[in-house]
Structure 1
Amino acid sequence: MKKIKTDFAPRFRADKKHSGLQLMETFFQLNELDVSKERLSNLMNYAVKRNSWIHEDPAVIFEFYHSMRSLIRAGYLIMLKERKWIVDTRPEKISPWVLGLLSEKEYRNPLLVFKKAFREYTLKEFDYFMSGIVYFSMGVYENLPERNIVMPYIHTVKMLDAAHLILQRRREKELADANLR
């Protein structure tokens, strides 16, 4: 009798077959930006609260956890390849409503978000952060996370904004190229 192995690896994986942009597109096909930011915020809030846990379906949280890990890896891949076309060189003043958590410099070049995040933290530390907030938000625990989880949270929210901005500019560029033909 042949043994059948079940593959429990997540669908979102950053390996040689997938590019960072493909992983980002997959993430935003399955998750909306505002819903992802809200879910990440809820996970963070419940992770630092004592005597309370998140009341969302654990399967949804588990899927979100894997998709966020994939998005972080996608940002790492993009940062390594460093595309130049992502930079916005328009001199106009940018509204603070559009910026979100990004600085004006980061808005113009979203790659700076990923460079700064991965200069301060490794992929393993971001994995530790994501697994930590999921773990502590899913139940009532006496102890709180032992590391500073605020800065990785801020970097992760900025990565969401930057990834969305990169894909938006990529779509705009493709439309402009299609209109020129």
Structure 2
Amino acid sequence: MKKIKTDFNPRFRAGKKRSGVQLMETFFQFNELDISKERLSNIMNYAVKRNSWINEDPAEIFEFYQSMRSFIRAGYLIMLKDRKWTVYTKNEKISPWVLGLLSEKEYRNPLLVFKKAFREYTLKEFDYFMSGIVYFSMGVYKNLPERNIVMPYIHTVKMLDAAHLILQRRREKKMTGTHSG
């Protein structure tokens, strides 16, 4: 009898090679920024609570986990390409509401967020962080995650903000390019 192997790897990157920006566009087509940040926050909160677990469909959590893994890899690809996404605002003061968790410097050049995140943590460590918070959020456990999960969480939220900003600027650049022709 022939053994049948099931491939559980996501097929989202199958076919032609894609850039990090294209992968991020795909991420945001299926995940809104606010909802992604809220879901990540909920998973994180339940991961550190000892006597409760998240009250969401495990399939949705797993799907979100898979999309976040792909998102983090897309951020790594963007960081490797070293493209500039700087905005020159002539030293104008930027509203704290617009910044979110980003510093003014990161807002002006969102690529810095990815460079800093991947200078401090590897892809494997981000995978460990994501799988850890998902695991601990879905059940009641006596032990908590043994590593610091706060800093990878902050980096991940900042990457979401920075990626959204990059895509927004890319759209604006395309719009001004089509109107100036």
**TM-score under structure 1 length normalisation:** 0.94
Q: Distance in 2 between matches of 1:14 and 1:125?
A: 24
User: Match of 1:70?
Assistant: 70
Structure 1 residue runs without a partner (length 5+)? none
Q: Distance in 1 between matches of 2:158 and 2:54?
A: 23
Q: Distance in 2 between matches of 1:116 and 1:16?
A: 29
Aligned pairs (5 A) from 1:85-164: 86-91=85-90, 92-164=92-164
SS in 1 for 2:147: coil
- Counterpart amino acid of residue 26 in structure 2: T
- Counterpart amino acid of residue 9 in structure 1: N
Number of residue-to-residue matches in the alignment: 180
Deviations 1:81-110 (A, max 9, x none): 0112x1101122110000000000000000
User: Retained in 2: the 8 A contact 1:47–1:144?
Assistant: yes
Q: Distance in 1 between matches of 2:114 and 2:38?
A: 21
Shift of 1:2: 7.5
Structure 2 residue runs without a partner (length 5+)? none
User: Retained in 2: the 8 A contact 1:110–1:166?
Assistant: yes
Shift of 1:8: 1.7
Q: Percent identity of the aligned residues?
A: 85
User: Retained in 2: the 8 A contact 1:14–1:23?
Assistant: no
User: Match of 2:169?
Assistant: 169
Change (3 A) 1:111 1:16: farther
Q: After the TM superposition, list the runs of 4 or more consecutive aligned residues in structure 1 that deviate by more than 2 angstroms.
A: 1-7, 11-16
User: Retained in 2: the 8 A contact 1:73–1:123?
Assistant: yes
- Counterpart amino acid of residue 139 in structure 2: G
Q: Distance in 2 between matches of 1:95 and 1:14?
A: 41
- Counterpart amino acid of residue 43 in structure 1: I
Change (3 A) 1:13 1:130: farther
